[in-house]
Amino acid sequence: MTEHETTAVGGNEPSSTRHGAPTQYCDGRGLKRLIGAGLAWLERHQQAINALNVYPVPDGDTGTNMLLTMQSAYQEIQDSPEDEVGIIAQKVAHGALMGARGNSGVILSQIFRGFARTLDGIEAFDTVVLAAALREAAATAYKGVIKPVEGTILTVAREAAEAAVGAAASSDDLGYVLAQVVREARESVTRTPSLLPVLAEAGVVDAGGQGLHIILEGMLRYSRGEQYTVDNELAAAMDLHDLHVEGEEGYGYDVQFIIQGERLDVEKIRETIAAMGDSALVVGDSRAVKVHVHTPEPGTPINYGAGLGSLSRVTIENMQEQYQEFILSKAQKPVVQPEHPGRIGTVVVAPGPGLTSVFESLGASSVVSGGQTMNPSTEELLHAVERVASNDVIVLPNNKNIILAAEQTKELSEKNIEVVPTISVPQGIAALLALNYQADVEANARIMAEAAEHIETIEITRAVRSVQINGMSVEEGEVIGLINGTLKLKGTAATEVALDALGEVHAEDYEIITIYYGEMVTHDQAEQLSEETSERYPEQETEVIDGGQPHYYFIMSVE
């Protein structure tokens, strides 16, 4: 699904060309192109922004998260013929909100939200309105986080808005004002390390701030006459819950899966799958290919895929049902669910099949796949919340970078939602165990948050970049150990780092050591760690569970 949008500078162009007269107004079509241009420029810088992440852990990367958020925003408007800038801005805000992934994505969506609020009912903006909208955008973003931190995207948004206000006071040329905004954003980004010491130590600027700067810069470049191309492949590939509703007929099944194998021929798979149905989407490389197709016979593509390699994340959905759900949601009618009065539903985020089973076995109502490497979007979390058959829902994000997106669901759903801000899988498990069926949802949120705090989390993974942090110098590829989310140890072997970490947390003072081993670890390796742990801590119970999580050798807890 690659879409090319080539824009000539014409009658509706949003801003001035170098040689033409200054542009004073930007209407809906203009804003749409600006958003497209910002998105396109962000796409080109995604990896560079990812590389700015301070932490060397495999995590939902800022560049990717912001890009997915922007793509979701753009999808809302790409086919819209709307002239009114206020309506386009609303659509952008909605798309960004639903597609928001990771903290940076959520903050970006807040920026669009504030922006849209100012433009509500406005046909086209001039420099003064633009400046006001940018100020409101920054203010909304600040309000969206509980403890705003300077030296982040928030600072960049605020300072860029201030520059807009200054420039708008003396000019009615949108191009000029935008240029001032971008200049200030760039400078603001370069100042982030002086505001946030952790950036200075790692020798980087803030990734989220840089993301915002890049989006604004893409807009500026377009306003100066550069063309852009939007490549939506990433969004399509990653958004499992993307609804493809087209026309009234031809509903069959929506089939999705990932083939893992060797020497997979993506082109050939794409051709074959395309012949099996509509809306075929096949992306990937020689080792993993993601397939998405609408077909009346779901078995056909699945059998074909299974013949090429091992399948994972297989989902089959009846599109007629989806369509109805979609229509209902569009009509703003809440989908009526059978409800168990008094029961509290739980939505948890978990990486890996093993951990998913653990959460399910403990009674989680819904498990959203995701975690360290893939942060689910607000929309995915919202879907999960809506599907739970109770009105009171507790969400356990189990990752620092998912908490904000989880918080967003509160405003989007009619349900009574509490987010317990768990930052790791063991915290999520401790919280879920503490769920008290007798207590109400608010009391439970308290009880569960407290239970989560009483557990020590150890995570063993591999550094994905070389970085200087917490006084430690870590080389890419080294095994690193995090304790309660803070990098504390490094080494060459996962088992050895895991044992060191147990020493560091004084496992001898606790009762139970639980080891969830990841997909990179064999059962034998896990057993070996288990034996060594039992030997070293004979007084403690050691439990080993196949977590199946990606990228993390071991996730461990002591309690």
- Judged by the rule CB under 8 A, the positions of this chain that interact with other proteins are 340, 343, 357-358, 361-363, 429, 433-438, 454, 510-512, 514, 541, 543, 545, 559
Complex with other proteins: residue 74 or 510, whichever CB lies closer: 510
Minimum Å gap between C-beta 504 and other proteins is: 20
Sign of CA dihedral 177, 180, 186, 191: negative
> Can you tell me whether residue 441 is helix, strand or coil?
helix
Burial class of residue 327 (count of CB atoms within 10 Å of its CB; 0-12, 13-18, 19+): exposed
The total number of residues shown for the chain amounts to 559
Complex with other proteins: residue 51 or 362, whichever CB lies closer: 362
Minimum Å gap between C-beta 451 and other proteins is: 8
Cα 375 off chain centre by: 4
Q: Which two tokens stand for residue 159?
A: 């300072």
Minimum Å gap between C-beta 354 and other proteins is: 8
Complex with other proteins: residue 78 or 398, whichever CB lies closer: 398
Minimum Å gap between C-beta 315 and other proteins is: 23
Complex with other proteins: residue 170 or 436, whichever CB lies closer: 436
* Residue with token string 């895991």: 498
Minimum Å gap between C-beta 247 and other proteins is: 41
Determine how many CB atoms are found less than 10 A away from the CB of residue 130.
Answer: 25
* Residue with token string 């852009």: 228
Minimum Å gap between C-beta 450 and other proteins is: 11
Q: Cα separation of 65 and 405, whole Å?
A: 11
Angle, CA 224 vertex, CA 222 and CA 227 arms, to 5° = 40
CB of 83 within 8 A of CB of 123?
A: yes
Q: Round to the nearest angstrom and report the end-to-end CA distance of the chain.
A: 48
Closest CA to 232 of 73, 88, 51: 73
Minimum Å gap between C-beta 245 and other proteins is: 35
Note the helical H segments in 391-507: 403-412, 425-434, 441-453, 494-504
* Residue with token string 């239970």: 451
Complex with other proteins: residue 222 or 517, whichever CB lies closer: 517
Closest CA to 241 of 385, 44, 401: 385
Burial class of residue 74 (count of CB atoms within 10 Å of its CB; 0-12, 13-18, 19+): buried
Complex with other proteins: residue 131 or 558, whichever CB lies closer: 558
Minimum Å gap between C-beta 363 and other proteins is: 4
Complex with other proteins: residue 353 or 491, whichever CB lies closer: 353
Q: Cα separation of 556 and 544, whole Å?
A: 9
Minimum Å gap between C-beta 189 and other proteins is: 45
Rg, C-alpha atoms of the chain: 24
Minimum Å gap between C-beta 440 and other proteins is: 14
Complex with other proteins: residue 40 or 529, whichever CB lies closer: 529
Minimum Å gap between C-beta 57 and other proteins is: 25
Complex with other proteins: residue 52 or 515, whichever CB lies closer: 515
Burial class of residue 340 (count of CB atoms within 10 Å of its CB; 0-12, 13-18, 19+): middle
Helix-helix angle 425-434:353-361, to 10 degrees: 10
Complex with other proteins: residue 24 or 369, whichever CB lies closer: 369
Minimum Å gap between C-beta 259 and other proteins is: 28
> Can you tell me whether residue 444 is helix, strand or coil?
helix
Minimum Å gap between C-beta 516 and other proteins is: 10
Complex with other proteins: residue 51 or 447, whichever CB lies closer: 447
Q: Which two tokens stand for residue 359?
A: 């959460």
Q: Cα separation of 162 and 262, whole Å?
A: 53
CB of 109 within 8 A of CB of 117?
A: no
Q: Which two tokens stand for residue 487?
A: 């990098």
Q: Cα separation of 299 and 505, whole Å?
A: 50
Complex with other proteins: residue 250 or 363, whichever CB lies closer: 363
Complex with other proteins: residue 9 or 362, whichever CB lies closer: 362
* Residue with token string 């899966």: 257
